[in-house]
Structure 1
Amino acid sequence: MRKHNPQRTLVAASLGLLLTACATPQVSAPSSQPLTITELGGEMQAQPVTSNWWRSIPDSSLQQLIDTALSAAPSLAQADARLRSARAGSELAASNDGLHINGSASFSRERISEYANLPSYLTGRWTSLSTVGVDLSYRFDFWGKTRAQLAASRGQARAAALEADDARQWLAWALSSQYLEWRAAQQGQQLLQQDVQLARQQLQLSEQKQRSGLSAADDVAQYRAQLAEAEEKLQRLAMREAQARHALAALSGQPQASIDALPAAALPAWDIALPQLRTGQLGLRADILAARERVEASSQNVKAAKADFYPDVQLSTLANVSSNELGELFSYGARSLRLLPAITLPIFSNGALNARLDARTADYELAVANYNQTLLAAMRDTADRSSNLQVLQQAENAAAANLSARETAARGVNGRVRAGLAAPIQGLAENRRLQQARFSTLDTHTQRLQAQAALLRALGSLPADKE
């Protein structure tokens, strides 16, 4: 009669389960696909770029403010903390499989009761047990689950790093915009103060003419209203200057006194060549790259969820020495060895595996939707910023032409006033129009500089040779 072999039966049953008893995925594959720059009509970027676009602004005070803010801003500390957390998650995923070794040592001393249900020669005695052991386990990644989890975790870490870089770019843009606003307000205050002085002189001349019977009361009221309007503009600009100054202190994380102590300076002479900027640079923008990394990470999570439907194979070994006598602890007879191969098969999970796969697939669809939305928003924002900059460049040229014409007109009128061919009040009126043209030119110039910074923030980079 053939003898029954239980080990052979167990192996055969395990192989059968491996081949036939695994759970079956019942979730549709993802249907969404990430968009590309070229699909949206953009051009690919071949020229090297730099993400530190603010370095192209020739102003040492601004550069110092940005450097200080980038080194100590609380928002950046939060981004760095998220990055460290993501990297720790990546290391944790990498440790799931492979070899694990744990050591152990224990000692116990026990007195056995005299009334224990044991032979009499064992009762009422003290016994000791010393144990030293090592536990080794190895989990096999046959189906690539851990590799997919590791790739997903590393992708999330890369996304966190890119988002931290995007936060730095946002901070640099916010500081640049407020700094330009602050310097423009300082210059504008000087122009408006001069305009207020001219309006006050107009009022004084009008009042003198009224007292002499050469001017009507309506003329005096008109000049008084013009003076009040000029003073109101000056006060409003002073408020803008204070707001920009306070914003600089908050964004850079410095005391207000440090901002107030910065030396006076004019607006920087900063120009960029618009034709050299390409929508292909968007493919290198930090937040778009981060969104793409999250798409890839979600794709790896889908692979890991699919691997849950396959068997899990693990091999464990427990080796130890144990003895009641400490002197015999490391003798040959005290050794013990246990081998524990294990196969876990997902035969029936009551829908849990499919639900997990469905959730991971939905996460992928969401990541693709977020990426596509980020890319579309960036394309629209870049187009808007580019159009705005083009309009402002034209407006600045027109303002410069108007200023040149006003300077010519003012020279002519002032010459006639000095020659006694025109009334002094006419010269004051023309000088006020000149001051207003200067202020308008300054305002348009400031808007153009801010539009340049906004466009580079939208593109996320600048051609490397223009840094």
Structure 2
Amino acid sequence: MRKYNPQRTLLAVAASLLLAACATPHVAAPAGQPLTAEALGANMAPQPVAADWWQRIPDAQLQQLLSHALAEHPSLAQADARLRSARAGSELVASSDGLHINGSANFARERISEHANLPSYMTGIWTNLTTVGADLSYRFDFWGKTRAQLAASRGQARAAALEADDARQWLAWAVSSQYLEWRSAQQSQQLLQADQQLARRQLAQAEQKLKSGLSAGDELAQYRAQLAEIDERVQRAAMREAQARHALAALSAQPQSAIDSLGAAELPSWQLALPTLGTGQLGLRADILAARERVEASAQTVKAAKADFYPDIRLNALAALSSNELSELFSYGARSLRLLPAITLPIFSNGELDARLDARTADYDYAVASYNQTLLAAIRDTADRSSNLQALQQAETAAAANLAARSDAARSVQGRVTAGLAAPTQGLAEQRRLLQARQSILDTRTQRLQAQAALLRALGSLPADKE
């Protein structure tokens, strides 16, 4: 007959508790699936788009504004702070496992009560106790919980870095767009003021003809209405110029006087080769990459939540020197050693672990949905901006042809006016049509330049540290 062995029984009970602790979670698996490039008909292979695309715009004053904005704007400081916080969080997670050592030193002086339950020679006296030691702890990551948490934390840090790059791209686009708007508004003001002068001359000629009995009153009313209309357009152009100028000051993080001191300049000559651009470059867009990193990080948090269902194993130890007499503190007999291995078994959590896993699963589904939404919006945004730029390029070509035709017509009519073969009012009218053609090509060119910047912003680009 086998003899009863209490140690074996204790091991069997511990093994049973260990198996009981590894309960199966009662939570549905994640339902979301990230969309693929192939499913959306877009090739996500990286294509060359410069991370600093705005430096290709040939305008020294714009480059000066961009340089100051990228160095001083608060939004980039916020993005950098979020990145540093995310990286610090990764280091914090990485430090949760492995060896931890804490040193301690203390001194206690105590008077023992005369009525203590101790021998009489130990009561009513003062005692000293000096202790110097080190507390050691080691947590084992058998189930990969910390590894999953660390992978998730580092993924969030990479996402924060990509979002910082996206903030930089946004700021460069915003400054470029407002600068183009400002320069366009300045030139538009000049054209409208010239048109205003021509309209006043037309009105003066109409008044003179009315006094001479050569025209009716309705013609004078028509010219007055045209002048009132151009006056309103001049005021609107002034408002547009002021708004763009104020926006530039805020975006470049400079006082308004710094913007006002900039000299006049024409719109930059900047042309994109549209056929080389397309949705295939979306694989480099920072917000898409960041959303994908958050999906991967959320998947790791699900793994970490699953590891909560398994035992947590720790090893604690204490090594100390303790003595009533300071002279004997470092003697061999003053040593004190303690070893405390521990296993924490999640036997019953009243649904806490299931709820935590369910929350992490929901976070994963949310991250997948956010990534899919970002990808769909990016593809549509890029397609819209690409087709818009193509249309504006064609419109600018047509506007240039119209301007050339109007210039020829204005020269022809002016020659007839000089020769006395046409009335001066005809010359003024043709000059106003020429100014309108110049305004049209200015507006179209401004929109085309802004569309180029918007398209490059929409396409995204490889971060500078990965080029």
User: Which SS does the other structure have where 1:133 is aligned?
Assistant: strand
Letter in structure 2 aligned against 1:230: I
Q: Offset at 1:277?
A: 0.8
Q: Which residue of 2 aligns with 1:179?
A: 179
Partners of 1:269 and 1:428 lie apart in 2 by 31
Partners of 2:2 and 2:316 lie apart in 1 by 32
Do 1:23 and 1:348's aligned partners in 2 also have CA atoms closer than 8 Å? no
User: Which SS does the other structure have where 1:51 is aligned?
Assistant: coil
Q: Which residue of 1 aligns with 2:129?
A: 129
Match runs of 1:287-326 below 5 Å: 287-326=287-326
Partners of 2:116 and 2:348 lie apart in 1 by 46
Task: Calculate the aligned-residue CA RMSD, in Å.
Answer: 1.9
Q: Which residue of 2 aligns with 1:387?
A: 387
Deviations 1:152-187 (A, max 9, x none): 000111111111111111111111111101000111
Q: Which residue of 2 aligns with 1:43?
A: 43
Letter in structure 2 aligned against 1:428: L
Q: Which residue of 1 aligns with 2:82?
A: 82
Q: Which residue of 1 aligns with 2:368?
A: 368
Q: Offset at 1:463?
A: 12
Q: Offset at 1:444?
A: 0.7
Q: Offset at 1:5?
A: 6.4
Do 1:48 and 1:463's aligned partners in 2 also have CA atoms closer than 8 Å? no
Q: Offset at 1:14?
A: 2.3
Q: Which residue of 1 aligns with 2:352?
A: 352
Deviations 1:208-258 (A, max 9, x none): 111111111111111111111111111110110000000101111110000
1:262 aligned to 2:299?
Answer: no
User: Which SS does the other structure have where 2:213 is aligned?
Assistant: coil
Letter in structure 2 aligned against 1:320: A
Do 2:20 and 2:347's aligned partners in 1 also have CA atoms closer than 8 Å? no
Q: Which residue of 2 aligns with 1:271?
A: 271
Deviations 1:273-313 (A, max 9, x none): 11111212111111111100100000000000111111111
Q: Offset at 1:8?
A: 5.0
Q: Offset at 1:462?
A: 8.7
User: Which SS does the other structure have where 1:45 is aligned?
Assistant: coil
Partners of 2:462 and 2:262 lie apart in 1 by 28
328-337 or 46-55: bigger deviation: 46-55
Closer/same/farther in 2, CA of residues 164 and 334 from structure 1, 3 Å limit? same
Q: Which residue of 2 aligns with 1:215?
A: 215
Partners of 1:324 and 1:288 lie apart in 2 by 66
Partners of 1:400 and 1:460 lie apart in 2 by 31
Q: Offset at 1:15?
A: 2.8
Partners of 1:424 and 1:65 lie apart in 2 by 46
Partners of 1:3 and 1:109 lie apart in 2 by 52
Do 1:107 and 1:130's aligned partners in 2 also have CA atoms closer than 8 Å? yes
Do 1:107 and 1:128's aligned partners in 2 also have CA atoms closer than 8 Å? yes
1:91 aligned to 2:96?
Answer: no
Do 2:47 and 2:280's aligned partners in 1 also have CA atoms closer than 8 Å? no
Q: Which residue of 2 aligns with 1:119?
A: 119
Q: Which residue of 2 aligns with 1:68?
A: 68
User: Which SS does the other structure have where 1:121 is aligned?
Assistant: helix
Do 2:104 and 2:134's aligned partners in 1 also have CA atoms closer than 8 Å? yes
Closer/same/farther in 2, CA of residues 101 and 88 from structure 1, 3 Å limit? same
Closer/same/farther in 2, CA of residues 84 and 46 from structure 1, 3 Å limit? closer
Do 2:165 and 2:463's aligned partners in 1 also have CA atoms closer than 8 Å? no
Q: Which residue of 2 aligns with 1:401?
A: 401
Partners of 1:326 and 1:211 lie apart in 2 by 121
Q: Which residue of 2 aligns with 1:443?
A: 443
User: Which SS does the other structure have where 1:366 is aligned?
Assistant: helix
Letter in structure 1 aligned against 2:193: Q
Partners of 2:154 and 2:165 lie apart in 1 by 17
Deviations 1:67-91 (A, max 9, x none): 1111111222221221111111111
Q: Offset at 1:395?
A: 0.9
Deviations 1:133-164 (A, max 9, x none): 11111111111100000000001111111111
Letter in structure 2 aligned against 1:389: L
Partners of 1:55 and 1:154 lie apart in 2 by 32
Do 1:47 and 1:463's aligned partners in 2 also have CA atoms closer than 8 Å? no
Letter in structure 1 aligned against 2:132: V
Q: Offset at 1:17?
A: 2.7
Partners of 1:221 and 1:214 lie apart in 2 by 15
Q: Which residue of 2 aligns with 1:235?
A: 235
Number of equivalences: 465
Do 1:37 and 1:280's aligned partners in 2 also have CA atoms closer than 8 Å? no
Q: Offset at 1:272?
A: 0.4
Q: Offset at 1:31?
A: 2.4
Q: Offset at 1:400?
A: 0.7
Partners of 2:37 and 2:189 lie apart in 1 by 45
Partners of 1:366 and 1:13 lie apart in 2 by 42
Do 1:111 and 1:126's aligned partners in 2 also have CA atoms closer than 8 Å? yes
User: Which SS does the other structure have where 1:313 is aligned?
Assistant: strand
Closer/same/farther in 2, CA of residues 388 and 299 from structure 1, 3 Å limit? same
Partners of 2:463 and 2:318 lie apart in 1 by 61
Question: TM (normalized to structure 1)?
Answer: 0.96
1:158 aligned to 2:161?
Answer: no
Q: Which residue of 2 aligns with 1:336?
A: 336
Closer/same/farther in 2, CA of residues 45 and 278 from structure 1, 3 Å limit? farther
Do 2:116 and 2:123's aligned partners in 1 also have CA atoms closer than 8 Å? yes
Partners of 1:106 and 1:2 lie apart in 2 by 53
115-124 or 292-301: bigger deviation: 115-124
User: Which SS does the other structure have where 1:101 is aligned?
Assistant: strand
Deviations 1:331-389 (A, max 9, x none): 12111111111111222222111111111111000000000000001111111111111
Letter in structure 1 aligned against 2:138: Y
Q: Offset at 1:9?
A: 4.3
1:432 aligned to 2:393?
Answer: no
Partners of 1:51 and 1:90 lie apart in 2 by 27
User: Which SS does the other structure have where 1:39 is aligned?
Assistant: coil
Letter in structure 2 aligned against 1:144: G
Closer/same/farther in 2, CA of residues 460 and 47 from structure 1, 3 Å limit? closer
